[in-house]
Amino acid sequence: MIRYFKWLTLALSLVVLMALVSACGGGTNNSNNTAEAGSGAPANDGQKADKKTYKWFVARGVDGPQAVTVKEIADEFSKTHPEFELVMEGTGDRPSYLQKLRTLIASNEMPAMFDTDSDAYASKLVQEGKLVDMKKVLQDLVKYEDFRPIALQYQQFADGSMYTLPLEFGIEVFWYNIKMFKDLGLETPKTFDEFMKVSETLKKNGITPIAVDGKDKWPVLRYLAYKPFRITGNDFIENVKKGKASFKDPAGMAGIQLVHELGTKGYFQQGFASTDYTAARDLFLAGKTAIYYMGSWETMNFANDKISAEMKDNIGFFRLPMMDGAKTAENDYFINSGIGVAFNQETFDDTMKEFVKFLLEKYPAAYTKKGQFSPFNYALDQAQGMPEIFYKIQDEIAKSGSVFAVPWDTRLDPATNELLGNELIALGLGAHTPDEFAEIMDQAIKENAPKYFK
């Protein structure tokens, strides 16, 4: 009886213990718990989760060729790494994107991956130890030499460090309507003087010379930078951003005068200040303007079946014009590898490292076959059946120089950069004289630059 009583007591104790464990959620029905990398969520209370979700916050829009290619490769990777899942969120509206990104990071919700330029804000994140050293990653994987040199140089900070991975590569050119030029007996301009004469001739003949995206501001900012780049290379922007040069210097005033003249003479389309990226491109594709400045990433949009018969095979391109005493060569112009991808140091675990390795192996061919130009040393031959304009741009890329213009919005401090975009549109609309604009920007540099540049 004593032995029976002890056995009964033990059995009842086990029943009670099992009930308590079940009530605390310790059963076997939690095998699908997911922790989102970059969200600050713990992985199953410290235990390894079956699947971990990594978020990529995309500035280019999730339907862009870069994002689509990466997602395809991520889905392939997940077949052999079921614990890995890549989800994307993003917007093509750059100002909204930047605002949300900075809100996420300030709230300690930095995504596992996110798009960013190598600008002053990214430099702050590097100083805080939040970003992965991508130069070291590429070197460790023996992939650094596989990239086009400029593709990597574009991503680097002034000290040569690199914390963003390039996913694209492109040259920037002036696309033009061949028929409009031919009908008016116009040659593609080789100098800025010729460029202005071409614009005036187009305007006099009832043709809007240039389509430009003023809403996003950076396309207009390119026009401000053209002449300073020809006169000084990148020296002007690198000095003026710290207050070591002035917008009133000859290089600065040359760029300011160009934007003021293009805008006030009506060489930009009417309402350019509120025209977005797609609308500006569509004006050109509809034959409403003769010229459209944009990167080679638009090449396939100028050769697809959606454009009119009148425009098909009627689009050419010319380089950034020259000027007397230019410091840069004819084949030196804006060349870039686009906004890069940064990786969150906190969530860059072994699985993410394996994914990056897999991505680097698969990306060059997959991306280029979509009609894009890869940051890798990779090209398609004629047998691939791409449109003629694709191969013309590919040849131009091969001829491009080793000096490239840096986008000013990746060099200035954030406060000055935001002001510059707004005031530049006002300059083009004639709300500021060139001298007034130069004074406004010099004052902004004086107030803001010391906080970012020592």
> CA angle, corner 390, sides to 228 and 374, nearest 5?
70
Size of the chain in residues: 454
Using one digit for the tens of pLDDT, what is the confidence trace for 199-258? 999 999 999 999 999 999 999 999 999 999 999 999 999 999 999 999 999 999 999 999
DSSP helix/strand/coil, 275: coil
Query: How far, in Å, CA of 375 to CA of 282, rounded?
Result: 27
Short-list 216, 172, 223, 171, CA closest to 195: 223
Q: Tokens at residue 36, please?
A: 């989102």
Report the alpha-carbon distance of residue 354 to residue 77 in Å, rounded: 9
pLDDT of residue 42: 41
CA nearest to 167, candidates 73, 241, 41, 261: 73
Instruction: Find how far residue 54's CA is from the centre of its chain.
Output: 20
Q: What is the pLDDT of residues 399-432, one digit of tens each?
A: 999 999 999 998 999 899 999 999 999 999 999 9
* pLDDT per residue of the chain (454 residues) written in tens, 0 to 9: 444 444 444 444 444 444 433 333 333 333 333 445 554 444 444 445 578 999 999 998 899 899 999 999 999 999 999 999 999 998 767 888 999 999 999 999 999 999 999 988 999 999 999 999 999 999 999 999 999 999 999 999 989 999 999 999 999 999 999 999 999 999 999 999 999 999 999 999 999 999 999 999 999 999 999 999 999 999 999 999 999 999 999 999 999 999 999 999 999 999 999 999 999 999 999 999 999 999 999 999 998 878 888 898 899 999 999 999 999 999 999 999 999 999 999 999 999 999 999 999 999 999 998 989 999 999 888 767 889 999 999 999 999 999 999 999 989 998 999 999 999 999 999 999 999 999 999 999 999 999 888 7
What does the pLDDT read at residue 118? 93
What's the confidence (pLDDT) of residue 20?
39
pLDDT of residue 92: 65
Q: Is the dihedral of CA 372, 377, 383, 387 positive or negative?
A: positive
Which residue's entry shows tokens 């760029």? 255
What are the phi and psi torsion angles at 136 (to 5°)?
A: -65, -40
Q: What pLDDT, on the 0 to 100 scale, is given for residue 383?
A: 65
Q: How many CA atoms lie within 13 A of 148 on its CB side?
A: 26
Q: Report the SS3 class of residue 282.
A: helix
Beta strands 51-58 and 34-37 are parallel
pLDDT at residue 379, as a whole number: 86
Angle, helices 218-232/250-264, rounded to nearest 10 degrees: 140
CA distance 112 to 38: 5
- Count CB-CB contacts under 10 A for residue 175: 23
Largest CA distance in the chain: 116
Q: How many CB atoms lie within 10 A of CB 313?
A: 15
Residues facing 52 on adjacent strands? 35, 84
> Which structural domains are found in the chain, ordered by start?
36-41+48-169+337-378 (3.40.190.10), 171-335+404-451 (3.40.190.10)
Beta bridge mates, 293:
174
Beta partners for residue 177, in sequence order:
315
User: Would strands 84-90 and 34-37 be described as parallel, antiparallel, or unpaired?
Assistant: unpaired
Q: Which residues pair with 336 in a beta bridge?
A: 170
